[in-house]
Amino acid sequence: MSRLTRALQASAGFAFCSTPDVLAPRCLSAVVDMGSVTRMRKMILPILGFMIVAAFAAFALSPWLYNPVHDFIGRQNTVYSSLFTNDRWVQVLEGTPREKVIELLGTPFYNYTLDKSYSPWAEGIESLSFSRPKWSKDYESIIVYIGQDQRVRWRTREVTD
């Protein structure tokens, strides 16, 4: 068998055969099995499809994924007043006297009176802040607003932006 014949057989995908009849059925073993390529495509395409769907889902859910992470980091960056606990926070309700709030939550870090730059109904309301940031601006802000009658008007608890 000549080199040219062997080269043609190799390029056509046939195995070398020592018999004179190179096209005999026993000599038609393919060098590249096309079935394995089809199996590879059947295996890769679902994985690729899943990755595309996952990317679209992550993009669509990003607002719901961002907020829990942001809030978790904000809470880790918060210093609370000396007596603050979740159980004590629940006891601070609208109408609770100012002295009782300080007794429950401890000494506030900051207190200030809302002035004329706020709405007229807010004039004279005192704000008591029972949390502060450790090292950055985002933290869990805990504020109790005391009215002129020295009772809780409302309270807030949220992670700042």
- Full domain range(s) for residue 49: 3-60
Q: Are residues 88 and 55 in the same domain?
A: no
Quote the CA–CA distance of 161 and 148 in Å, as a whole number.
30
Please check the confidence at residue 8 and state whether its pLDDT lies above 60. Answer: no
Q: Are residues 86 and 29 in the same domain?
A: no
**pTM for this prediction:** 0.59
DSSP 112: E
Would residue 68 count as lying in a domain? no
Check if the beta carbon of residue 18 is closer than 8 Å to that of residue 6.
no
Q: Are residues 138 and 110 in the same domain?
A: yes
Q: Which two tokens stand for residue 120?
A: 């007229």
- How many CB atoms sit inside 10 A of residue 130's CB? 30
Check if the beta carbon of residue 44 is closer than 8 Å to that of residue 54.
no
Q: How confident is the model at residue 143 (pLDDT cuts 50, 70, 90)?
A: very high
Q: Which two tokens stand for residue 147?
A: 């009215």
CA separation, residue 38 to residues 35, 48, 50 (Å): 5, 15, 19
Would residue 74 count as lying in a domain? no
| 8, 12, 16, 19 alpha-carbon torsion, rounded to 10° | -80
Q: Are residues 95 and 147 in the same domain?
A: yes
pLDDT value of position 119: 78
Check if the beta carbon of residue 123 is closer than 8 Å to that of residue 116.
yes
Quote the CA–CA distance of 105 and 66 in Å, as a whole number.
30
Check if the beta carbon of residue 109 is closer than 8 Å to that of residue 132.
yes
Would residue 56 count as lying in a domain? yes
Q: Are residues 106 and 50 in the same domain?
A: no
Q: Looking at the 3D structure of the chain, how many domains does it have?
A: 2
Q: Are residues 122 and 52 in the same domain?
A: no
Q: Are residues 83 and 123 in the same domain?
A: yes
Q: Are residues 50 and 15 in the same domain?
A: yes
Please check the confidence at residue 132 and state whether its pLDDT lies above 80. Answer: yes
Would residue 119 count as lying in a domain? yes
pLDDT value of position 27: 52
Q: Considering only residues 36 and 7, tell me which one the structure prediction assigns the higher pLDDT.
A: 36
Output the CA torsion sign for 143, 146, 150, 152: negative
Please check the confidence at residue 116 and state whether its pLDDT lies above 50. Answer: yes
Q: Which two tokens stand for residue 68?
A: 């829990």
Condensed to tens digits (0 to 9), the pLDDT of residues 22-32 reads: 455 545 454 44
Would residue 67 count as lying in a domain? no
Would residue 128 count as lying in a domain? yes
CATH of the domain at 116: 3.30.1450.10
